[in-house]
Amino acid sequence: MESLKASFGILFFTFTFSFSIFSLLIFVLRAIKPWSCGCEVCRSYLTRSWSPEFDNLSDWFTHLLRKSPTGTIHVHVLGNTITANPDNVEYMLKTRFDNFPKGKPFSAILGDLLGKGIFNVDGDSWKFQRKMASLELGSVSIRSHALEIVSSEIQNRLIPLLSSEAGKNGGVFDLQDVFRRFSFDTICQFSFGLDPGCLQLDLPISDLAVAFDLASKLLAERAMTASPWVWKVKRLLNLGSEKKLKAAIKAIHVLAEEVIQNRQKLGFSTQNDLLSRFMGTINDDRYLRDIVISFLLAGRDTVASALTTFFWLVAQHPEVEAAIREESDRVMGPTVQEQTANFKQMKEMHYLQAAMYESMRLYPPVQFDSKFCQEDDILPDGTYVTKGTRVTYHPYAMGRMERVWGNDCLEFKPERWLQDGVFRPVSPFKYPVFQAGIRVCLGKEIALVEMKSVAVSLIRQFDIRVVTPSQMPRFLPGLTATVRGGLPVTIQERRL
């Protein structure tokens, strides 16, 4: 009798387990709908048949957007309308801003890491943080503090490091890695008042940076799955990449909480870092943690990415390098005694600003950015968008559209930004590299000062040569554009 009961129990358990797995499978398949669309674009996306012809997914999307008469396409299998049309961009980021929030699918993807941080929320919580953060980031004292951090990191770490690498026999090293370490050091000092000291190549990169890299990579993979159910089920069962992600996020949270507690012990009222500033208004530690993590994500990889592609382009355009040197000699003096530029000098270097903008036109650090349509809508180019559709504007493709930038759109020409030698910006909806409209990047000015400081200091002091200049950059999947394999360079100190 007992053995009959046991057999029945096993049979019942096996049946229930198999039925649950089967139901789950049906649920996931219905959500992914692999059979729902047989169009060429969807088939190509799912089978990756675009990859032999194009280096990057963004290059394939650019090709499709250039072919589309409206500059807009719809990828059915992703439920994603993608546009490179400036009128549509203005409509979604300004005119009908309320109808195109980040939306729940986005906050679900990043929510485990970012919680209620500014990057990941809409509505009142976003408005509150935006108001507070724009007051802080717009203040003269915070901007001067940011420049002090950047100048000190350049003079005391970046230049000595590159000088020690310069001229080493066969000395090839990865400039992208150096920029990632540099921007992590500066954004941590700016956000937390904490110096992780990553720019010492002999030291292992900090635990926080390692966990951050892993989390960004795995979160980007979440965003690329054809259906959110794939990662949601993996997260529920704590499997594979989701298990690793959980551990990385836990490590980031623990480290961030430690920083907050230390800051509270040491006192914050006289400090200039963002965390200390926010502590004056907010006393919820978890909320503080979320806000500061959003800033790390916003300000780290973006700056490193922009610098990497800038140096890649400049290395292929000696005339641009020469023009930057000539301008900086005129503004800062011909010797390299002055290693970094001050605010006034930077304002006077119009060519440098133009070269920076031009480089991000071709290689925007955030190659595309998505919103979710709240109510059915019609974009200015006539595209009908139903409620719940993901709508993506694509700065990478926009920089390569003849109808936006003219026949020479693929050429690197800083002069296109200058009129009588003076920098002239264009509509931010034509150039949404820092997003545009109501939710435009809050760190834009600080980022530009940081990047221009690095560019001018290194170009004045060193000859930097890319080892494989003709190789087009291939990007790793990620929230921000990171070059696969880094940027191997050789470096020589200039004799002046």
447, 458, 483, 489: which one binds ligand HEM (CB under 6 A): 447
User: According to the binding rule CB under 6 A, does residue 45 interact with ligand HEM?
Assistant: no
The torsion angles phi and psi of 427, rounded to 5 degrees, stand at -60, 130
Cα 149 vs. chain centroid, distance in angstroms? Answer: 21
User: Residues 105, 222: contact at Cβ < 8 Å?
Assistant: no
Distance CA 170, CA 339 (A): 26
Long-range contacts of 181-184 (CB under 8 A, 24+ apart): 181/205, 181/209, 182/153, 182/157, 182/158, 182/304, 182/454, 183/299, 183/300, 183/301, 183/303, 183/304, 183/307, 183/450, 184/209, 184/212, 184/300
Cα 440 vs. chain centroid, distance in angstroms? Answer: 14
Q: Which of 400, 363, 373 is nearest to 81 (CA)?
A: 373
From 60-68, 250-258, 299-307, 384-392, span contacting ligand HEM (CB under 6 A): 299-307
The torsion angles phi and psi of 232, rounded to 5 degrees, stand at -65, -40
User: According to the binding rule CB under 6 A, does residue 366 interact with ligand HEM?
Assistant: yes
| Nearest distance in Å: CB 446, ligand HEM | 5
Q: Which of 465, 464, 482 is nearest to 473 (CA)?
A: 482
User: According to the binding rule CB under 6 A, does residue 434 interact with ligand HEM?
Assistant: yes
User: Nearer Cβ to ligand HEM, position 303 or 314?
Assistant: 303
Binding mask 118-147 for ligand HEM (x = CB under 6 A): xx----------x--x--------------
369, 414, 417, 449: which one binds ligand HEM (CB under 6 A): 369
User: According to the binding rule CB under 6 A, does residue 433 interact with ligand HEM?
Assistant: yes
Binding mask 317-356 for ligand HEM (x = CB under 6 A): ----------------------------------------
| Nearest distance in Å: CB 435, ligand HEM | 4
Cα 21 vs. chain centroid, distance in angstroms? Answer: 37
Q: Which two tokens stand for residue 124?
A: 């009142």
Applying CB under 6 A, the site for ligand HEM has a residue count of 22
Q: Which two tokens stand for residue 452?
A: 């221009």
Q: Cα angle at 301 between 298 and 303, to 5 degrees?
A: 85
User: Residues 84, 63: contact at Cβ < 8 Å?
Assistant: no
What residues between 372 and 411 interact with ligand HEM by CB under 6 A?
A: none
86, 193, 365, 414: which one binds ligand HEM (CB under 6 A): 365
User: According to the binding rule CB under 6 A, does residue 153 interact with ligand HEM?
Assistant: no
User: According to the binding rule CB under 6 A, does residue 299 interact with ligand HEM?
Assistant: yes
| Nearest distance in Å: CB 261, ligand HEM | 23
Q: Is 441 annotated as a binding residue?
A: yes
Taking the CA atoms of residue 327, residue 333, residue 335 and residue 341 in that order, the dihedral angle to the nearest 10 degrees is -80
253, 390, 394, 439: which one binds ligand HEM (CB under 6 A): 439
| Nearest distance in Å: CB 359, ligand HEM | 10
Is 221 strand, coil or helix?
A: helix
User: According to the binding rule CB under 6 A, does residue 306 interact with ligand HEM?
Assistant: yes
| Nearest distance in Å: CB 319, ligand HEM | 24
* Residues flagged as binding site: 441
* Contact residues: ligand HEM, CB under 6 A: 118-119, 130, 133, 295, 298-299, 302-303, 306, 365-366, 369, 433-435, 439, 441-443, 446-447
* Residues flagged as binding site for heme: 441
